C-alpha cells in the first residue's frame, strides 16, 4: 500500500513540474523585417474660391429715357477650376417689376429680359470674366418716380467634374428711379386734306406726280420726322429720311404739307405757297394710287394710324359702299369741303376739277354750292308770294259805258295799292280828254311788303283770272267775269291791262320790271 502511495506522489510531481515549465515559455523573438522609403512625396489640400469685385452700385437714376448700369468682375482666388451660374434673387420694391435687365459677359450679350427673371449658366470660368449689367425702365408712369428696387446677384461656382467643392458669392444691388416730365400726347390733328391720284397727261406721269396734301388744324407745330404714308398695298413710305427730302420737318400751326414721289411734281404746280412744306418720298405713294379705287393712310412715327381716306371701290375708310365717289376725269382731285373738318364720312369730301396743293381755296366752291341752293329756294318763295298777292289785291276799277262813235274815253282809276304785274305784263294808262289820270309805278318786289287786302268770296273767279293772266302771259281771257278781266273789244279795257300784247297803244305807257 505504501508503494502505491509513493508512486502516485511521484507521478503527480512529474506532471506538475512539467506543466509549470511549459506554461512559463513566452513569445519567440526571431522574425523577418524589411524597410522601404519613398523620397519627395507631398500631400496638400486644394481650394475652390472666387470673389466678386464692383467699384460702385447701379447708377445713374433710371428714367424712361436714362438707363442705369453696373460692372461686376469675377475673380478666381482659389487653386481649382470651376464653372458657375449667375442669377437674381430677393427682389424687393414695386419698381423691380418695371425694369428690364441686359447682361453682357466680356462684351457679348447673354440675356435681355425682366430683371426678376435673370438666370445664366456661364460655364467654365476663364480669366477675366467681366459682366456689364444695364437696367432699363419700361414704363413712364409718374407713379414710378423716386422708387427703389433692391435685389441680389447670386454667383454659384462648383468644381469641374462634379467633385464636392463649391463656392457661392452674393452681391447686393439698389436701383433708384429719378424724376421725369411726361410729355403731352402728340396732337393727332394732322389731316389728309386733298389727294391727287389721277394725273393729267401728257406732261404729268403716274405714279411719280401723284400727291397728297396734309393739313395741320391745330395751334401747335407738329414734327413729321419719321411719319409714314401708304395705300392699300401696305407699302409704307417714310417722311424726311434725309434733310434733302423735306423743305422742313415741321408743319406749322394751320399749315400745309404736300407729299409726292418726285421733285418734278413741283414744276407742274408752281402755285404752291412758299410756306407749304414740300416732302419728296423718292418712291411711289404705296405702290401707286389707283384711279378706280384706293386709299391713303397717314401714320405717325410710332406707326399709329392718324387719318385715312378711300375712294372709288375701296371701302377702307368709310365702310362698305361708302367710299368717296369722285368724277372720272384725269386732272381731278378729291378734297375736304372744309379744311381739317372730319366727321369720318365720305360726305366730308368733294371732287375738284382744279386741284390746289398747299392751300385751300376750294372752301369757296363749297360755299357757292350752298348759296346757290338757297337762292333757288328764295326764288321759288318769291314767285309764290307774288301770285298770292296778285290774287288778294286786284285793282278796283270803275268804268263808264262806252258810246260807239265817240273818240274820247272817260275812265277813272282808283287804286290804293298798285297791282303787281308779272315781268311780262304791261300797264297802260291812257287819257285823251281833260280828265286827270293817276299813274303809279312800283317794282314788283316792293309789293311783297304791302299790306294784304281782304277780298269777298265773290272775287274767287277774279283770282283765277288774275292768276292765269300773270302765269300764262295770254291776251287777257282769263275768265268771263268783267270784274276780273276786260273784254278786248273795249278801248278802255285795253288801256287798263294787257298781259299778253307786247305792243303799246297810242298814248299808253309800258311798264315792266
pLDDT of residue 477: 40
- Of 155 and 41, the structure prediction assigns the larger pLDDT to 155
Confidence grade of residue 102 (pLDDT, cut at 50, 70, 90): very high
**DSSP secondary structure letter of residue 368:** H
41 or 408, which is more confident = 41
Give the cell for residue 97: 417689376
For residue 171, what are the CA distances in angstroms to 57, 96, 104, 129? 10, 17, 17, 16
Question: Residues 428, 496: contact at Cβ < 8 Å?
Answer: yes
- Dmax (CA) for the chain in angstroms is 237
Report yes or no: 362 and 356 within 8 Å, Cβ to Cβ. yes
User: Taking 60 as the threshold, does the pLDDT of residue 99 lie above it?
Assistant: yes
**pLDDT at residue 472 above 70?**
no
Average pLDDT over residues 95-105: 96
More confident residue, 419 or 309: 309
pLDDT reported for residue 362: 61
pLDDT in tens, 259-272: 999 999 999 999 99
The mean per-residue pLDDT over the stretch 116-143 comes to: 92
Virtual CA dihedral for 217, 219, 221, 226, nearest 10 degrees?
-40
For the ranges 194-203, 270-279, 364-373, 470-479, the one whose mean pLDDT is highest: 270-279
Q: Record the cell numbers describing residue 234, joined without a space.
A: 401696305
Rg, Å, the chain Cα set: 57
Q: Is the pLDDT of residue 117 over 50?
A: yes
Grid coordinates representing 269?
404746280
Tell me what the mean pLDDT of segment 295-304 comes to: 92
pLDDT of residue 131 exceeding 70, the answer is yes
Report the pLDDT value the prediction gives residue 185, as an integer from 0 to 100. Answer: 58
Please state the rounded mean pLDDT for residues 334-348: 89
Mean of pLDDT values over 421-432: 41
User: Cα–Cα distance between 210 and 284 in angstroms, integer?
Assistant: 8
pLDDT at 27: 60
397 pLDDT tier (thresholds 50, 70, 90): very low
pLDDT of residue 500: 39
Specify the pLDDT at position 24: 65
Question: CB of 197 within 8 A of CB of 79?
Answer: no
**Given this model, what pLDDT does residue 153 score?**
97
Same topology for domains 50-176 and 191-360, yes or no? yes
Residue 320 has a pLDDT of: 74
Answer for the pair 150, 174: CB distance below 8 angstroms, yes or no. yes
Lowest mean pLDDT among 102-116, 270-284, 477-491: 477-491
Say if CB 451 and CB 367 are below 8 A apart. no
Which among 261, 247, 271, 250 is positioned nearest to 357, based on CA atoms? 271
The answer on pLDDT for 506 being more than 80 is no
pLDDT tier at 297 (50, 70, 90 boundaries)?
A: very high
- Alpha-carbon distance of 463 to 458, in angstroms, equals 10
Q: What is the pLDDT of residue 43?
A: 74
Mean pLDDT of the chain: 74
Looking up cell 523573438 gives 29
Average pLDDT score over residue span 416-433:
41
- Model confidence at 183, pLDDT cuts 50, 70, 90, reads low
pLDDT for residue 206 is more than 60: yes
The DSSP annotation for 383-408 comes to HHHHHHHHHH----EEEPPPPTT-S-
With cut-offs at 50, 70 and 90, classify the pLDDT of residue 184.
low
- pLDDT computed for residue 34 by the predictor: 83
pLDDT of residue 145: 95
Sorted by where each begins, the domain ranges of the chain are: 50-176, 191-360, 391-513
By C-alpha distance, which of 152, 151, 150, 201 is closest to 176? 150
Q: Give, in words, the CATH class of 191-360.
A: mainly beta
Whole-angstrom Cα distance, residue 18 to residue 20?
5
Encode 61-72: b = buried (16+ Cβ within 10 Å), e = exposed: bbbbeeebbbeb
Q: What is the mean pLDDT of residues 168-184?
A: 90
Dihedrals phi, psi of 169, to nearest 5 degrees = -125, 140
- pLDDT tens string 6-15: 877 888 888 7
Residue 148's pLDDT is what?
97
Is 0.75 surpassed by the pTM of this model?
no
Residue environment code for 463-497, b if the CB has 16+ CB neighbours within 10 A, otherwise e? bbbbbbbbeeeeebebbeeeebbbeeeebbbbbbb
pLDDT at 130 over 60: yes
Looking at domain 50-176, its CATH superfamily turns out to be: Immunoglobulins (2.60.40.10)
Record the cell numbers describing residue 350, joined without a space: 368733294
Mean pLDDT confidence for 162-190: 83
Banded model confidence at residue 394, pLDDT cuts 50, 70, 90: very low
pLDDT value, residue 29: 62
Amino acid at each position: 500500500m505504501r508503494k502505491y502511495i509513493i508512486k502516485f506522489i511521484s507521478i503527480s510531481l512529474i506532471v506538475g513540474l512539467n506543466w509549470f515549465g511549459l506554461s512559463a515559455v513566452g513569445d519567440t523573438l526571431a522574425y523577418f523585417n524589411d524597410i522601404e522609403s519613398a523620397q519627395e512625396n507631398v500631400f496638400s489640400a486644394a481650394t475652390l474660391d472666387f470673389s466678386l469685385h464692383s467699384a460702385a452700385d447701379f447708377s445713374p437714376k433710371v428714367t424712361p429715357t436714362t438707363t442705369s448700369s453696373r460692372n461686376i468682375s469675377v475673380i478666381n482666388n482659389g487653386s481649382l477650376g470651376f464653372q458657375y451660374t449667375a442669377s437674381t434673387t430677393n427682389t424687393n420694391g414695386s419698381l423691380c417689376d418695371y425694369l428690364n435687365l441686359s447682361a453682357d459677359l466680356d462684351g457679348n450679350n447673354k440675356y435681355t429680359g425682366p430683371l426678376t427673371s435673370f438666370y445664366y449658366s456661364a460655364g467654365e470660368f476663364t480669366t477675366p470674366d467681366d459682366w456689364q449689367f444695364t437696367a432699363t425702365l419700361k414704363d413712364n408712369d409718374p407713379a414710378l418716380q423716386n422708387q427703389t428696387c433692391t435685389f441680389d446677384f447670386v454667383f454659384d461656382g462648383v468644381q469641374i467634374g462634379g467633385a464636392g467643392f463649391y463656392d457661392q458669392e452674393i452681391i447686393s444691388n439698389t436701383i433708384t428711379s429719378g424724376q421725369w416730365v411726361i410729355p403731352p400726347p402728340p396732337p393727332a390733328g394732322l389731316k389728309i386734306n386733298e389727294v391727287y391720284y389721277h394725273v393729267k397727261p401728257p406732261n404729268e406721269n403716274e405714279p411719280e406726280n401723284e400727291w397728297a396734301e396734309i393739313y395741320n388744324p391745330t395751334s401747335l407745330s407738329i414734327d413729321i420726322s419719321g411719319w409714314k404714308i401708304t395705300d392699300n398695298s401696305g407699302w409704307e413710305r417714310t417722311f424726311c429720311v434725309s434733310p434733302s427730302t423735306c423743305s422742313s420737318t415741321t408743319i406749322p400751326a394751320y399749315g400745309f404739307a404736300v407729299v409726292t414721289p418726285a421733285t418734278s411734281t413741283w414744276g407742274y404746280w408752281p402755285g404752291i405757297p412758299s410756306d407749304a412744306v414740300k416732302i419728296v418720298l423718292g418712291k411711289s405713294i404705296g405702290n401707286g394710287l389707283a384711279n378706280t379705287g384706293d386709299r391713303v393712310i397717314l401714320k405717325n412715327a410710332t406707326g399709329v394710324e392718324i387719318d385715312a381716306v378711300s375712294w372709288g371701290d375701296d371701302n377702307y375708310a368709310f365702310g362698305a359702299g361708302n367710299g368717296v365717289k369722285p368724277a372720272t376725269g384725269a386732272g381731278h382731285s378729291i378734297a375736304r369741303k372744309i379744311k381739317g373738318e372730319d366727321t369720318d364720312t365720305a360726305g366730308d369730301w368733294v371732287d375738284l376739277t382744279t386741284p390746289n396743293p398747299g392751300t385751300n381755296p376750294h372752301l369757296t366752291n363749297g360755299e357757292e354750292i350752298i348759296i346757290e341752293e338757297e337762292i333757288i329756294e328764295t326764288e321759288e318763295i318769291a314767285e309764290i308770294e307774288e301770285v298770292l298777292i296778285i290774287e288778294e289785291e286786284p285793282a278796283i276799277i270803275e268804268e263808264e259805258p262806252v258810246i260807239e262813235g265817240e273818240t274820247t274815253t272817260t275812265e277813272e282809276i282808283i287804286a290804293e295799292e298798285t297791282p303787281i304785274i308779272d315781268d311780262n305784263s304791261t300797264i297802260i294808262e291812257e287819257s285823251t280828254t281833260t280828265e286827270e289820270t293817276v299813274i303809279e309805278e312800283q317794282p314788283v318786289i316792293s309789293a311783297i311788303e304791302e299790306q294784304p287786302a281782304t277780298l269777298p268770296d265773290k272775287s274767287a273767279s277774279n283770282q283765277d283770272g288774275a292768276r292765269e293772266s300773270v302765269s300764262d302771259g295770254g291776251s287777257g281771257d282769263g275768265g268771263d267775269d268783267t270784274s276780273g278781266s276786260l273784254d278786248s273789244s273795249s278801248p278802255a279795257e285795253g288801256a287798263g291791262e294787257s298781259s299778253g300784247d307786247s305792243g303799246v297803244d297810242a298814248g299808253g305807257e309800258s311798264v315792266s320790271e
